[in-house]
A and B are shown apart, each in its own frame.
Chain A
Amino acid sequence: MDVNDKTLKALTTALNFREMRQELISSNVANANTPGYKAKKMDFEEALARALDVDGQMQMNVSDGRHHTVGNGGFNNLEPEIYDNPNGVVTENGNTVDVEAEMATMAENKLMYDALVQLINKKMGIMKYAINSEK
């Protein structure tokens, strides 16, 4: 168990992305009545799954040995996908925000954020326990 291990990096990266998602949701909610505003959605799960390659199922061709292949844990350059929510219902002033859907997404995001923090704590906890065990 290494302080730099892949899982810990994955958890931290997921935390960062969920923070960004919260900001996007706040923006959608605040602009729920702004004319012409289009609700935005953010996806990071695919990019993270590719970087993790948990099952060893994904393959990627690399032209240079120094390039990151799949699953190498190249977490620093992950880009989320931000796009207009295609499920938005357009009101007559051009706004596509569905406040209830944003609330639901926000609740799920918060729950997963809490779960990730707890998992990080558990991992750190076991490391600290191992360090602290005497004799």
Chain B
Amino acid sequence: MSIKDISGFQRTLGNADAKGWSQKVDNDFGGFKIETPGVGESGKAKSFGEFLQDSLGKVNDMQHEANTAMEKLASGESQNLHETLMAVEKADISFRTMNQVRTKVLDAYREIMKMQI
């Protein structure tokens, strides 16, 4: 590998830079909004609390979707066994993940409270 080729790498790395990439995407895709974490509704940086609340909302939505899918299957409205099971599995996994996050957050909180000022 000769020194000449590093410029190619530099360009590639430049393209891979997160900020530059998100700007490029916004420019390239026009109206297609990508949700970048860290930008809240007011345009300022989103707090961790808001982020958690959004996630909880999404987990709740998935639970509702799973419930709807199960009801549709039970009443024969939908014949898609695989879609129902996928929806249920997604809700299941997201719930367990959220529970783990909750545990970790509590642990972190206790850790902080243990600190002697």
Listed in ascending order, the chain A residues whose CB lies under 8 Å from chain B are 1, 5-7, 10-11, 13-14, 45, 48-49, 52, 54, 111-112, 115-116, 118-119, 122-123, 125-126, 129-130, 133, 135
Measured CA separation A103–B72 after assembly (Å): 25
By DSSP majority rule, is chain B's interface helix, strand, loop, or mixed? helix
Chain B interface residue count, CB cutoff 8 Å, equals: 23
Nearest to B89 among chain A residues (CB) is A122
Using known A-B contacts A1-B63, A54-B68, A129-B96, determine if residue A11 contacts B74 with beta carbons closer than 8 Å.
yes
What residues on B are CB-neighbors of A11 within 8 Å? 70, 74
Measured CA separation A133–B101 after assembly (Å): 12
What residues on A are CB-neighbors of B107 within 8 Å? 135
Number of A-B contacts (CB under 8 A): 64
Listed in ascending order, the chain B residues whose CB lies under 8 Å from chain A are 63, 67-68, 70-77, 81, 84-85, 88, 91-92, 95-96, 99, 103, 106-107
Let me know if B92 and A52 touch, CB within 8 A: no
Measured CA separation A41–B68 after assembly (Å): 27
